[in-house]
Structure 1
Amino acid sequence: MKVTDLIDVLKMKKLIGSLDPELNIGKISQDSRDIQSGDLFICIDGTQVDGHNYVETAGANGAGVIVAHKDIQKAAANVPVVYVPDTGKAMSLLANHFYGYPSESMKVIGVTGTNGKTTVTYLVEAILKAMDKKTGLMGTIEMHIGDEVHKTKNTTPDSITMQKALHLMTERETEYFTLELSSIALEMGRAWGLDLDVAVMTNLTHEHMEFHHTMAAYAEAKKLLFSQLGNGRKNGRTKAAILNADDETIHSYRIATAAEVISYSVKDETADFFATDITYSRTQTRFNLVVNGERYPVVTNLVGLYNVSNTLAALAAVYALGIPLEDATKAVTSLAGVIGRLEIVPGANDIGVYVDFAHSPDAMEKVLGVVREFTQGRVISVFGGAGEREHEKRPIMARIGTELSDYVILTTDDTGKEPQEQIIAMMLAGIEKDNYEYIENRKEAIQHAIAIAEPGDTVILLGRGHEADYNDRGTMIRLLDSEVAAEAIELRNEQKV
């Protein structure tokens, strides 16, 4: 793309130097190390790194033009600089234009909320795939383009990465794109330029206070998704906001959007999508979906009341896109499960072993409540507190864990560079019972939990879910809870022979 065509998308700008009208921009990047001859380098002032400090590197690597919002003239030397008020917003505008506005050619479902985002996106994808639709997905665990799987670094990537991925999806003729949108990503503008059809809110509970500082600011960040739905139609289609009527914040989100609202609930029968006659076992949940007075039987392989809520959100989202409920409800069973979300670790014949990503007080309370429902013996939980983030939730989660479990093994969880002694001290401050022990090494803690489990017990490994990269005092190692548990189960079985 010609540099002048690209830069023209920015309304408010000041050019220092002259642009070569014949220059073709090869790519846009915020990483100076990635710049090659003729590329556009955009300076992003991030939470850890300020791109304005790497202008000389970008220039030395051949940048054809630099976009900035701080004075970099001396470092830029002879490279033309386009100054803008906000490089974050400029990056989203430039990336969207550079890659041809890919989200306009597909139906886009954005999912936000404290808990349940991953499960809802996987459910939506599974339902659409069962309808033989061409799908794409982006979220915490991975990115999907049809049946292709790509690992991801963040729940929601930066706008360049997102638009590049969407462009690839359009080349594969993707019809539906579902993605998770974290509050941090929304506040940082990573979703700017994304043309949404449906926005889904799962719930709002305590999380990300190290970034937002207050629950009010956290809630406002989530609202950005619903204001982004806009006030018009997309390719002749009306847009929709899917809101949880069981969450007390629903009213504030309802008035934040001009789109039609579809509510869902497991408690309020006046909601648009209501679940009744709910029953569940260790491996399945059944309920009747009530919409406009019609009943649709639903069977899902996801367990627990909160997963009924997640299923309702997914069904409402695909319904808003025109998928018949008769087909959608039958397709729910096509999702066997979600990695790290109450994931069963197979092989244990006399006990249950599960891995779950629950790392907030609300998520932990819900998961332990579900596990208690189907456990005949003891509930043994293993969890720690992540380092360098959200100190205030550590004692709360420790209290919930010891109150809702029969026995707890406290351990580590991504300590980072924070002393583990400090983390465990904060956790212990919230505990009033004596039904716990502390094993610092997480692998040993998991092994011990499975070794002491008796027939009928359930062992639940909390906090990390699908995560395999473990930050041990600043050193990254591989530690996947399900792998450690599988090895411990094998050893347990051998000892019982």
Structure 2
Amino acid sequence: MNVLKDILYKVNLNAVVGSTNIAINSIDFDSRNIANNDVFVAIRGTVVDGHNYINVAIDKGALAIICETLPAKLVDGITYVEVDNSNKALAIMSSNYFDAPSDNLKLVGVTGTNGKTTVTTLLYQLFKNAGYKVGLLSTVKVLVDDVEYKATHTTPDSLTINKYLKLMNEAGVEFCFMEVSSHGIHQSRTEGLRFEGGVFTNLSHDHLDYHKTFAEYRDVKKSFFDGLGKHAFALSNTDDKNGLIMLQNTNAKKYTYALKGYADYKAQILENEFSGLLLSIEGSEVWTRLIGNFNAYNVLAIYATAELLGLEKVEILRLISELKSVSGRFQYLVSDEKITAIVDYAHTPDALINVLETINSIRTKNESLITVVGCGGDRDKTKRPKMAHIASELSTKVIFTSDNPRSESPEAIIEDMEKGVEPQNFKKTLSIVDRKQAIKTACQLAEANDIILIAGKGHETYQEIKGERFDFDDYKIVQEFLKQLQK
């Protein structure tokens, strides 16, 4: 039996009307899911304010209401609890409701603009191959050891996080690797969780539609490390100019990694090819199938994290050599015509630079590099011209197209992008609104040994247009068109 006062443990309460010594069934922040004897948490979202649905929740059987502002009219027999921050209260209550599941795991959070999915997914893979039961909370999927669930957000809501962590407890999972987004941190979704460690990958231009300024975006990321306990470790990439800022106020044990500057964990790229990377990590050579400078950082972060979690160095290097690339992250195929197609999630300026510079550092320059790229609708508009500028500077030919236009006009998004193209690069660019047609055109333009990069959507298997999701998989589509060329 769940008692409200137990679920409110460690929640900062401003006021209580009614009794907290009552048995409750479940917690929810969506009034549509409320049933008899539930607790409704009213959250002020960016679009909907849960406070407007308090009476709906009561009509559906809610016994208790958690809110930031008490309603003007209180209903007899209902317990009202006023808090400063409903998101934070929900996170702590969720942990209490599911018996603090993060306490029974070694939970590691990975944050940064780029690399979160790669680092968490490969850590899952590495620890699984080492013989452990492992959990994963990522953009691509949620894994409770071998059982897969579909992911809906980079960082799920706190109820969902704790529900999955509880399932991990029941499955005997020992380690869990979790992507921690700036949205998730800002909305207190990770509050009340006990992290064994935190990893910072890098910071670049993204989500400024939500955070407004780069400084705010940086400080939200930093607050994750500020919240780590003394028992935890904080591992940061100090080749990134914000790397040391992340460690400034943390109580956790501080560790650094870098390819260029001084750090606790160091690596050097010895060979960089389309088949993989040869790295020297802490003086030992290791071959990995991952490609590019940015993946050298990801591999080093994985190595350092595994060592901080207690694995032996020689064992870690062996396991790194067995890692397979992550879906939609520099995922490539070579056609019979010797055309290389690469699908990558690069949807930020920094990620696009990383992928294009990696390709350019490997290719001979005797072949063409054709880039297909778009930008998402209803998101940070300031990065659109930057993405187009980068693509047109670093490619032989560029096709601007739709990404997930959402509620915006794809033509208008492409116009925003085109503003970033320098006059000398105009002749390199084409605009084709239909993404499938854009990919087909890239395949038709390509000749033997040419390289096609399809950027922006990566692992996604849909396209979001006017509130609807349509099946769309970049990898399958380019594979299909390249096969047609072979006939």
Residues 88-129 of structure 1: CA deviation (Å, up to 9, x unaligned): 111111111111111111111110001011111122112211
Matches of 1:304 and 1:9 in 2, distance apart?
45
Question: Equivalents in 2 of 1:347, 1:78: separation in Å?
Answer: 69
1:344 partnered with 2:337: no
CA distance in 2, matches of 1:348, 1:37: 62
**What is aligned with 2:321?**
333
Deviation at 1:6, TM superposition (A): 2.1
Give the C-alpha shift of residue 277 in structure 1: 4.5
Residue aligning to 1:36: 35
Summarize deviations over 1:31-84 as a string: whole Å, max 9, x none: 111111111111111112211111222122211211111232537565322222
What one-letter code is carried by the residue in structure 2 that aligns with 1:54? Y
The alignment yields a C-alpha RMSD, in angstroms, of 1.6
1: distance between equivalents of 2:302 and 2:5? 42
Q: Distance in 2 between matches of 1:445 and 1:129?
A: 39
Q: Which residue of 2 aligns with 1:236?
A: none
| Deviating more after overlay: 53-62 vs 7-16 | 7-16
Alignment of 1:336-375 (within 5 A): 336-345=324-333, 347-375=335-363
Is 1:315 the counterpart of 2:331 in the alignment?
Answer: no
Distance 1:273 1:8, change over 3 A: closer
**CA shift for structure 1 position 448:** 1.1
- Residue 117 of structure 1: aligned partner: 116
Structure 1 residue 300 corresponds to structure 2 residue 301: no
Q: Is the 8 A contact 1:375 1:456 kept in 2?
A: no
Aligned length: 481
Instruction: Give the alignment of 1:338-487 within 5 angstroms.
Output: 338-345=326-333, 347-376=335-364, 377-432=367-422, 433=425, 434-487=427-480
Match of 1:158 in 2: 157
Structure 1 unmatched ranges of 5 or more: 234-238
Paired AA for residue 212 in structure 1: H
Q: Quick one: structure 1 residues 303 and 56, their matched pair in 2 at CA, closer, same or farther if it must change by over 3 Å? A: same
Which is further off, 330-339 or 436-445? 330-339
Matched-pair contact (CA < 8 Å) for 1:380–1:405: yes
Q: How does 1:71-150 map to 2 (within 5 A)?
A: 71-74=70-73, 78-150=77-149
Shift of 1:394: 0.8
Which runs of 5 or more structure 2 residues have no equivalent in the other structure? Answer: none
Change (3 A) 1:154 1:472: same
Instruction: Compute the displacement of 1:414 (Å).
Output: 1.2
1:236-251 residue pairs with structure 2 within 5 A?
A: 239-251=232-244
Residue 13 of structure 2 aligns to a residue in which SS?
coil
Do residues 172 (structure 1) and 171 (structure 2) align?
Answer: yes
What amino acid is the match of 1:362? Answer: D
Paired position in structure 2 for 1:273? 265
Aligned residue identity for 2:7: L
2:359 match: secondary structure: helix
Over 3 Å counting, the alpha-carbon distance change for 1:492 and 1:75 in structure 2 is farther
Which residue is 1:7 aligned to? Answer: 8
2:69 maps to which residue? 70
Q: Distance in 1 between matches of 2:130 and 2:147?
A: 18
2:350 partner letter: D
TM-score norm. by structure 2 comes to 0.95
The list of structure 1 runs, each at least 4 consecutive aligned residues, that deviate by more than 6 angstroms after superposition, is none
Q: CA deviation at 1:143?
A: 0.6
Distance change >3 Å, CA 277–CA 2, structure 1 → 2: closer
Contact 1:375 1:457 in 2 (8 A): no
Instruction: Look up the equivalent residue of 2:227 and give its one-letter code.
Output: Q
Cα pair 2:9 2:96 within 8 Å, conserved: no
CA distance in 1, matches of 2:22, 2:58: 19
CA contact (8 A) 1:126 1:332 kept: no
Listed one character per residue, the Cα deviations across residues 332-357 of structure 1 (whole Å, up to 9, x for unaligned) are 13321101101114655411011100
User: What displacement does 1:8 show?
Assistant: 4.7
Q: Which amino acid aligns with 1:301?
A: R
2:16 maps to a residue whose letter is: L
Distance 2:10 2:350 in 1: 43
In the alignment, the residues of structure 2 paired with residue 149 and residue 368 of structure 1 have an alpha-carbon distance, to the nearest angstrom, of 32
Going from structure 1 to structure 2, the CA distance change for 1:43 and 1:300 (only over 3 Å counts) comes to same
Q: CA deviation at 1:425?
A: 1.6
1:59 is aligned to 58
**Deviation by residue 1:293-325 (Cα, 9 ceiling, x = unmatched):** xx2222111100110001101111111111111
The 3-state SS of whatever aligns with 2:69 is coil
User: Residue 267 of structure 2 aligns to which amino acid in structure 1?
Assistant: A
One-letter amino acid of the structure 2 residue matched with residue 364 of structure 1: L
How many angstroms does 1:149 deviate by? 1.3
CA–CA distance in structure 1, aligned partners of residues 50 and 363 of structure 2: 52
C-alpha change, 1:416 and 1:348, in structure 2 (3 Å) is farther
Kept in 1, the 8 Å contact 2:65–2:81? The answer is yes
> Aligned partners of 1:247, 1:124: CA distance in 2, in Å?
21
